[in-house]
Amino acid sequence: MAGWLRPLAGTLLLLEVAAAVSFLHHRYEEMVRALFRVQSECPYVTRIYSIGRSVEGRHLYVLEFSDYPGIHEPLEPEFKYVGNMHGNEVLGRELLLQLSEFLCEEYRRGSERVTRLLHDTRIHIMPSMNPDGYEVAAKQGPDGIGYLTGRNNANGVDLNRNFPDLNTFMYYSGEISGPNHHIPLPDNWKSQVEPETLAVIQWIGSYNFVLSANLHGGAVVANYPYDKSQDQRFRSHRRTANTPTPDDKLFQKLAKTYSYAHGWMHRGWNCGDYFVDGITNGASWYSLSKGMQDFNYLYTNCFEITLELSCNKFPPKEDLERQWMANREALVAFIEEIHQGIKGMVTDKNNNGIAGAVISVQGISHDVTSGEMGDYFRLLLPGTYTVTASAEGYQPQTVTATVGPAAPSLVHFQLKQDMVKKAPERKASGTRTNNKTLQKKVVPRSVRRGTQR
């Protein structure tokens, strides 16, 4: 390169970097350009796809980070962030755009931490689940915005009250000891949800997500399931109806990971409210029905928490950089939490993956299932566990697994076919057995190849 071009090239690079990290509120078109800019800067580790459209036809874009974009690699867990579910709660949207830029830039400069994260994790980032609501809120801006303006989608529906109510099925059909994993959807569920909700349900049914967070505003706290109280008589009272999941201690640890990595969430006193360690059980705060957080836990393999990130739902642009610095480490540290517990392959005797195998942990009444390739992921705290893998047409297998504080333990299962015993053979000398026709050997049932939840 000619000598006189080098200063010009350097100046252009600085301008490009400055533009990329500007702290601004992004309208829909600007958000889309920001996503595609990241994809063009890191083309070999990113992919952009749309899971559907909003009521007004805006794409629900997702930016994926992976060393093999668009491909699920066996034993590599899937993670997701969802922002801007409420259109007027905008900080999560901006933080996820900043996170996307950060991951790309850190990967390009050779950061060992980010490179390892992208090589070992498939990360999906949706900055806005409610782009229509955002546009309504953004027209007024941070100064003139009403508290609820733009919260709902274009049909006036709160998307975080729009998922099928699987909690009620669990609480009242099977009581608290009833099924609380992979609960089937009601037959008419599609007619009861909004286009954005439908797109998300189909999305999380297409990927075997393991860990997730949805980003909100209006408080500063890490909220974990269940959101809906078992006893709805308590729904109007705050902090009176703690309703834990079977994975309550794990969820508390996940929430604390974000809270203590955040600039001030862990202090507890925020927005005129107090939460010990900056975390709360959702139903203990207030009961919420038909929310996305509980739906993830009850319908899929995914463990999701809700992150309330700012007292001001639409903070001024001057506050965005401070908020990014407060959340940057927490956003990365929370993704890293996906690498704990146990994971492995469930295969048959020929090493073919078995999809839909159920992974049960003794003492924790919440199961997960294997994906289409036969790989499974079960988040667990450090300890020793009795784990069973079972699948239709196979004999279950039980092992003891020890989980350490760092990387997940590899626990593989190879299941044997469940052969039905042969019927008694005819006796010698031509005599008959009770004059009945002898049964034929029954052919073993084939494995039901289920799809990922």
Q: What gap in Å lies between CA 443 and CA 419, rounded to an integer?
A: 8
Whether the CB-CB separation of 264 and 270 falls below 8 Å is answered with yes
Picking from 244, 258, 166, 169, the residue whose alpha carbon sits closest to that of residue 211 is 258
What tokens were used for 216? 């909100």
Q: Is 318 a catalytic residue?
A: no
Angle between helix axes 131-144 and 28-41 (nearest 10 degrees) is 110
DSSP E strand boundaries for 225-322:
269-270, 273-274, 279-281, 303-310
**Helices 195-206 and 292-299, axial angle in degrees (round to 10):** 30
Q: Is 332 left (phi over 0), alpha (psi -120 to 50) or beta?
A: alpha
With CA atoms as reference, report the closest residue to 32 among 111, 127, 108, 114.
127
Closest CA to 418 of 352, 363, 348, 332: 348
Q: Which of 128, 276, 284, 290 is nearest to 216 (CA)?
A: 128
Compute CA 183 distance to the chain's CA centroid, rounded to the nearest angstrom.
17
Token output for 284? 């203990």
Cβ atoms of 60 and 196 within 8 Å: the answer is yes
Rounded CA gap, 361 and 257, in Å? 23
Of 308, 318, 372, 392, which one is the catalytic site residue? 308
The set of catalytic residues is 308
